[in-house]
Structure 1
Amino acid sequence: MATKRYQRMSNSINQMIASELNVRLEQVTAAVTLLDDGNTVPFISRYRKEVTNGLDDTQLRNLESRLGYLREMDDRRKTILKAITEQGKLTPQLEAEINSADSKTRLEDLYLPYKQKRRTKGQIAIEAGLEPLADTLWQQPTNDPEATAAQYINADKNIADTKAALDGARAILMERFAEDAALLHKIRRQLQTNAEFTSRMVAGKEQEGAKFKDYFEHNERLKNVPSHRALAMFRGRNEGFLQLSLNADPNQEEGVRGSYCEIIIADHYGVKLGTQPADAWRKQVISWAWRIKILMHMETELMSALREKAEDGAIQVFADNLSDLLMAAPAGPRTTLALDPGLRTGCKVAVIDTTGKLVDIATIYPHQPQRQVAQSEAAVLALLNKHQVNLIAIGNGTASRETDAFVAKILKDNNLKIQSVMVSEAGASVYSASELAANEFPDLDVTIRGAVSIGRRLQDPLAELVKIDPKAIGVGQYQHDVSQSMLAKRLDAVVEDCVNGVGVDVNTASVALLTRVAGLTKTMAQNVVDYRDEHGRFESRTTLKKVARLGPKAFEQCAGFLRIMNGKNPLDSSAVHPESYAVVKTIATNNSKAMDAIIGNSEFLRSLNAADYADEKFGLPTVTDIISELDKPGRDPRPEFKTATFAEGVNEVKDLIPGMILEGVITNVTNFGAFVDVGVHQDGLVHISALSDKFISDPREVVKAGDVVKVKVMEVDLQRKRIAMSMRMSDEPGQEKPARKPQQNQARSTANHNAQSNNRGNSNSPKSNQGNNPAGGAMGGAFAAAFAKAKK
């Protein structure tokens, strides 16, 4: 019986997920089976396409997340059914409603009347025998409340007078209404559609909480509040500057006391209030039930739901930006000189070879206060020549533009054609002080470790950034205000998908990178590196089976994502899984060709019909992928490497002039716009309305982190170091702009004070002050209001 019920619930969960993802039930069932068997999302999406009929990694991640939620809900359903059964109150109708509940909220509504709780006024009144009084007055309004209540006076039960009796009867009904799942559903739907989210200043906090002043008198339809504004208001409340509430009747005329939700309560129970003796008392019961019981419950619930939705939106923004950053174009295996700029403590210099190995270090003092320019130039030139450097990476922190100018002079004076690139330092200090960095470079100062990290992240952003906690990279909005466990789980999934999407060279990868490969644990990753150190480079994928604790299941999951460059088997450097090598051998044999002769032979491969090589074990999707991979084995899905060229002489915010057209790099994308680094130590904001000439609802439709773009400076606030920019070259500073669509006007009106809530993550970065200030950045407070007014 239990087995049948479990199967029935599993089918129901799978059907629900299929409907939500708009895919077939058999696809979901197959994916769930694979996940339950211990298969990873990257492995399923890449190597089990015929089983799931092509579900991609995004669909599988959503499926996995939803599956966890629905299974948790099913466990809660079982607990609730058991609890009500033990009370002897489970009816067939109630059981059916509980089994058909499609959300945790609905489940808890149904369980509310049966939930064990402290003795309430209603329960005490029932124990005192006042329930018949409550039912009589509610159902028979012709009865006079005072006269009827007089019959229930009983000093032994603490009912001293009619007032006590009527108060007890009212408490019984109020609690009954507040636990009516059907009524709560109606009121919840009304509030979700029509209620307003309101924010008010806490008295006396005008100056202290000035950064939240756009929310001192703010009203917004609950269903329309975007994630960044919701999180800003919740932060204001947490810091003691704002009071938040729910206005259930935003369109109601001033002075009207009743609520439309009171009408819903009356209609739900078929009550028509008139002039009968008990109607005034019944009206009071409805009003008190709404204001004292239901409204408080709904306000707490809907605000929690808003926060949860806002957190999910913020986490999605972070995840998208992180993916773009990790998948940024690598400069590749080029000998790199990296500089971590500084003033008093000097610039730390590290030279790394084509494999990322540290080969030389130095510290120079080209800036104030030492100003050892000649010595510094000589030291850098000597390193460039000694190691045949062909790429220079400069951290974008303190003194970065001064260091960039210093390097540019060396290259110009010596006629050197070496590319110099500004690199984000976000998270570099976190890596420098980490146990991982200490183990890798135990004898190096943390600042030198930072320089190494800067150089490596230019060579290969993905391989280096995986060493840093994703949260420390800081490309999100309000990242410190969301659930840290949810954020970490989501970001870990992003890192895993990116790493496996690119593939990993098993002979050069760090433990941190290998840990992100599907199927490998941290222990297995360490064992791979230990085996490599002891036995030398891996010559074939099959050798991985000799690594301690890396069993058949782990090998199955990881093998296709690990690359053996220049190994014994040419397929080991490709994304073709070892389990499919037989397919390649068949293709070569059937066409009388050597395996080496078909790899990269585009003309031959494009002439093949994948269906000719498909069978029960290897379906058409797998064979199609194999042929595509053979055409460009081990291809990197990341874009071609290119960099922005910062304008000469534009080093600080004060150097910016409205109307300037500059080249910059997108550092962060939020719901309300994108942030651009133009080399002045302070990112500028391109509001969503200034990203494109056409209407867009999401900035990511136009830009993503790492993009090189051209922007026009629109406004500069020197005092606050805030910069407003546009990607529409036709825009002119101070020019009257055409009317925006409603969505953009609304987003602009109150979001601007958040406009630079750009979490950079690195507390040591000169830009890190943006992360926790909802008014920080390009537009905030009065500046934001002026900007918004100018644009309207």
Structure 2
Amino acid sequence: MTARLAAELNVGEQQVIAAVKLLDEGSTVPFIARYRKEATGSLDDAQLRLLDERLRYLRELDERREAVLDSIEEQGKLTDALAADLAAADTKSRVEDIYLPYKPKRRTKAQIAREAGLEPLLDRLLEDPSLTPKDIAAGFVGEQVSDADAALEGARAILTERASEHAELVGAVRAKFWQQGSVRTAPRSEEAAKSTEAQKFRDYFEFSEPLEKMPSHRVLAVLRGEKENQLGVTFDGGSDDEYVAMVCDALGIDPTNPGEATTWLVAGSRWAWRTKLAVTATIDARTQLRKRAEDEAVEVFARNVKDLLLAAPAGTRATLGLDPGLRTGVKVAVVDATGKVVDTGVIYPHAPKRAWAESKAALAALVARHSVELIAIGNGTASRETDSLAAELITEIRAAGHDAPTKVVVSEAGASVYSASEYASRELPGMDVSLRGAVSIARRLQDPLAELVKIDPKSIGVGQYQHDITPSTLGRSLDAVVEDAVNGVGVDLNTASVPLLARVSGITAPLAEAIVAHREKAGAFVNRKKLLDVPRLGPKAFEQSAGFLRIRGGDDPLDASGVHPESYPVVRRILDTSGTALAELIGNSAALRSIRPADVADDRFGIPTVTDILAELEKPGRDPRPGFTTATFAAGVEKVTDLRPGMILEGVVTNVAAFGAFVDVGVHQDGLVHVSAMSDRFVSDPHDVVHSGQVVKVKVLDVDVDRQRISLTLRLDDEVGAGQRSGGGSARSQKGAPQKATQNSRDGRDGGGRGDRSGRNDRSGRARGGNRAPAPSGSMAQALRDAGFGR
């Protein structure tokens, strides 16, 4: 197994052996990747995740292989050849193919025919194709067989079962069906095609695509259309004659041999193909197609979640969170620099109340009272209207000569999930559910990672058809992404929440609760060793977690870094070598770069670990996330109807799919930059060009108001209006990769292709203007003084 894993990963077998041993001992992927480089030869987290996944599959394969061997042996049918075939089987499908003839099954027509003594009839016809089937069959008529036709029907049932249980034939048919097969779709019925529900699938009313080439987003769209009873889906494997020839070859039938038996045997082979093998091949193709689509969709989702989790934090600044709404008002929450809630409320600037001036005054008072530096605005319903309110407030504060906060529109996807969660009720007891969303919006601007870990990653809303993906497959992948992100950044032990601590290597949810309870009872941790005072936190959990936990201002400066406590003796050797005190060495690039890792390394802590320690001492506790930037939405562009082809706008990438990227340009509806409109060079993966949360400039190519579709391009010199109806990319193809605009319109528009933005971000009920109250009378300067500015 280790040799196979090494070959698949293209690494040394000893690296695999060491990694498997560590995983089996309970070490986590982040811990192994960061602190066991000597053992694994510096395998990174991506390689270790793949190894872990493949290891799980191969072990499941071995378990199934042993179960099959035991079953066949119990039947007394295990031979050396059969055991060798099973030992060589390298996939679960191959094991099941070999097991087919021996698998316990319900009483079949073939078994009944065998019990009636009809197997010799089939064998005689196979041995001598010149025989006349009916004449031979007449000799098998008896008490259990009524006539010659019944005898031949029984023989055909046996032939069909032999074909369907022929391991090599089943495998070859599966491979051929996949290689040359296709998916065909059409409306479930003429009536269904006319329904409103079916219109989102209308690109698939006359559709066909090869199985091997069909991208994941179209697979999932088609399967969703079938699930919603809007589409009929069929699988076409190609010419039946080719498959019949394969059946004949496997059973030793020569179709060119003259004789009545040959004709009967070929017809029986055709029956076996149509009634058994074709059905099995279709099921296998559907399973493989879905699995491949799910794997690709999960990968896209995972990368988007990672981008969001590792988005730039605004930092420890007092923040005012606005959760926009119309009839129910805009929910307001202010959190201080540490994220503690210091004020909440509700304002009603929009229809129907339109208390614009009063709302602005209320916000001004909160900004002054709490020295607010940032305003976080959720990007859901009434977002642009609320953004205009904030912009007007900021302009007037500056005009009055005061420092004004910065406003930022942030994704509120998943905020409602958090608001209604059990953790939110414990974290914010007594607070109205609707106000919790505003708190989440404010905090996720301060530190996206710390806040988003409180939400099930499936609810963050950056997936591609995530509701159509097997939950366990998606959950396992996303959990790994969150774990890697949290441990890559590091966690402040004295401020981290339970959900954040629970994502740290080696710390379970109960342990995270125990850490927080101990912290609240005994006070802040002054050093990492104090972790061992937490009930039920033993040496193993300490080993796995300590390096990822930070203590700022504690007893030991190293506790604020990513240096693991087990490596502190190495730091002491570095100090001895450099002749410098720790306080003078930390951050001293010249001194640190003068030290040769080989001079400090030993048998336990080799050059890779020492190199990491030196880098960490140079920038202790550095945050790997990018610097904080914001997008500025164009003034006056608030609705899809405000857009015009040719406009150049600033926006934020909200979701990256296999076919392109969705960008929020501030009109309550994301636009699509198709993969063909991302660059002048060929782009195979949109993630190579953009990532979720990135601020970009785009040009509007086309706007379909009726279908709420916006076509954008990252190539600002693209011409507009050339074959761009219905959205979907640029008229100009990627170099070396011709694209059809008609195909582009299908990508991402298939009943949920916008990324299934779950949570709060449904864009419904947006205002259409005319929502402002008259400007307040009197001096704005006086109003600001009343709010608390200038005192």
Instruction: Tell me, in whole angstroms, the C-alpha distance in 2 between the residues paired with 1:248 and 1:316.
Output: 28
User: Corresponding residue for 2:447?
Assistant: 460
One-letter code of the match for 1:292? T
- 2:410 pairs with 1:428: no
Match of 1:486 among 448, 473, 485: 473
What is the match of residue 181 of structure 1?
A: 167
- 1:50-100 Cα offsets, whole Å, 9 max, x none, are 100011111111111111111111111110000000101001000000011
Which residue does 2:155 correspond to in 1? 169
**Partners of 2:759 and 2:375 in 1: CA distance:** 25
- Which residue is equivalent to 1:411? 394
SS, match of residue 259 in structure 1: helix
Matches within 5 A, 1:105-124: 105-124=93-112
Shift of residue 731 of structure 1?
1.4
1:691 equivalent in alignment to 2:678? yes
Identify which of 30, 41, 44 aligns with 1:53.
41
Whole-Å separation in 2 of the counterparts to 1:675 and 1:414:
34
**How far off its partner does 1:312 sit?**
1.2
Tell me, yes or no, if the aligned pair for 2:504 and 2:548 is still in contact at 8 Å.
Answer: yes
Answer yes or no: is the 8 Å Cα contact 1:511–1:529 preserved in 2. yes
In the aligned structure 2, how far is the partner of 1:342 from the partner of 1:739? Answer: 41
Out of 247, 250, 267, the position equivalent to 2:236 is 247
Question: What is the deviation of 1:721?
Answer: 1.7
Query: Which of these residues, 63, 66, 69, is aligned with residue 78 of structure 1?
Result: 66
- Mapped pair 1:722 → 2:690: no
Residue identity opposite 2:46 in structure 1: T
Q: TM-score, normalised by structure 2?
A: 0.92
Q: Which moved more, 1:367-376 or 1:453-462?
A: 367-376
Aligned counterpart in structure 1 of residue 242 of structure 2, from 241, 257, 260: 260
Q: Distance in 2 between matches of 1:174 and 1:120?
A: 11
Q: Does 1:309 align with 2:287?
A: no
Q: Are 2:682 and 2:737, in contact at CA under 8 Å, matched by a contact in 1? A: no
Separation in 2, partners of 1:738, 1:398:
34
| Larger relative contact order (CA 8 Å, sep ≥ 6) | 2
CA contact (8 A) 2:221 2:751 kept: no
1:337 aligns with 2:333: no
C-alpha displacement of 1:720? 2.2
Residues 417, 764 of structure 1: CA spacing in aligned structure 2 closer, same or farther, 3 A cutoff? closer
- Deviations 1:521-573 (Å, cap 9, x if unpaired)? 11111111111111111110001110011100000000000000011100000
Give the superposition deviation at 1:744: 4.0
Aligned match for 2:131, one of 135, 143, 154: 143
CA contact (8 A) 1:646 1:664 kept: yes
Shift of 1:747: 5.7
Please state how far the C-alpha of 1:367 moved relative to its aligned partner.
2.0
For residue 764 of structure 1, the aligned residue among 750, 760, 765 is 760
The structural deviation recorded for 1:734 is 1.5
What secondary structure sits across from 1:753 in the alignment?
Answer: coil
Alpha carbons of structure 1 residues 657 and 607: separation in structure 2 relative to 1, 3 Å:
same
> Are 1:131 and 2:105 an aligned pair?
no
- Give distance in 2, aligned partners of 1:15 and 1:433: 49
Equivalent position of 1:626 in the other structure: 613
Whole-Å separation in 1 of the counterparts to 2:743 and 2:291: 20
**Alpha-carbon distance in structure 2 between the residues aligned to 1:46 and 1:768:** 45
CA displacement at 1:200 relative to structure 2: 2.5
Q: Secondary structure at the match of 1:141?
A: coil
SS, match of residue 439 in structure 2? helix
Letter in 1 for 2:43: L
- Cα shift at 1:118: 0.8
RMSD of Structure 2 on Structure 1 (CA):
1.6
Match in the other structure for 1:7: none
Asked whether 1:617 is paired with 2:599, we answer no
**Mapped partners of 2:232, 2:362: distance in 1:** 59
Q: Is the CA contact 1:685–1:724 (under 8 Å) kept in the aligned structure 2?
A: yes
Question: Per-residue displacement from partner, 1:633-679 (whole Å, max 9, x unpaired)?
Answer: 00000001101110001111111111100000000000111000011
Deviations 1:272-311 (A, max 9, x none): 2233121110111111111111000111111111111111
Contact 1:430 1:762 in 2 (8 A): no
Tell me, yes or no, if the aligned pair for 1:762 and 1:768 is still in contact at 8 Å.
no
Work out the CA distance in 2 between the residues paired with 1:604 and 1:768: 59
Superposed CA deviations along residues 397-435 of structure 1, whole A, max 9, x for unmatched, are 121111111111111112133211011110111111111
Determine which of 749, 754, 757 is the counterpart of 1:753: 749
Determine helix, strand or coil for the equivalent of 1:557: helix
Q: Secondary structure at the match of 2:94?
A: helix
Mean alpha-carbon deviation: is it higher for 357-366 or for 435-444? 357-366
Identity %: 54
Q: Does 2:185 match 1:202?
A: no
Contact 1:429 / 1:762 at 8 angstroms: preserved in 2?
no
Correspondent of 2:376 among 389, 393, 415: 393
Gap runs ≥5 in structure 1: 1-12, 253-257, 770-792
Looking at structure 1, the residues matched to 167 and 201 of structure 2 have their Cα atoms a distance apart, in angstroms, of 38
Distance of 2:616 and 2:226 partners within structure 1: 54
Contact 2:312 2:629 in 1 (8 A): yes
Q: Residues 743 and 220 (structure 1 numbering): CA distance in 2 closer, same or farther, change over 3 Å?
A: farther
d(CA) in 1 for partners of 2:75, 2:129 = 33
Aligned length: 748
> Which amino acid is the alignment partner of residue 124 of structure 1?
I
Whole-Å separation in 1 of the counterparts to 2:235 and 2:704:
35
Residues 1:221 and 2:204 aligned together: no
Are the structure 2 counterparts of residues 372 and 304 from structure 1 closer, same or farther at C-alpha, using a change threshold of 3 Å? same
- Determine if contact 2:360/2:393 at 8 Å carries over to the other structure: yes
Q: Residues 752 and 486 of structure 1: is their aligned pair in 2 closer, same or farther, counting only changes over 3 Å?
A: closer
Show structure 2 runs of 5+ residues with no match: 724-730, 766-791
Compared CA separation, residues 578 and 530, structure 1 to 2 (3 A): same
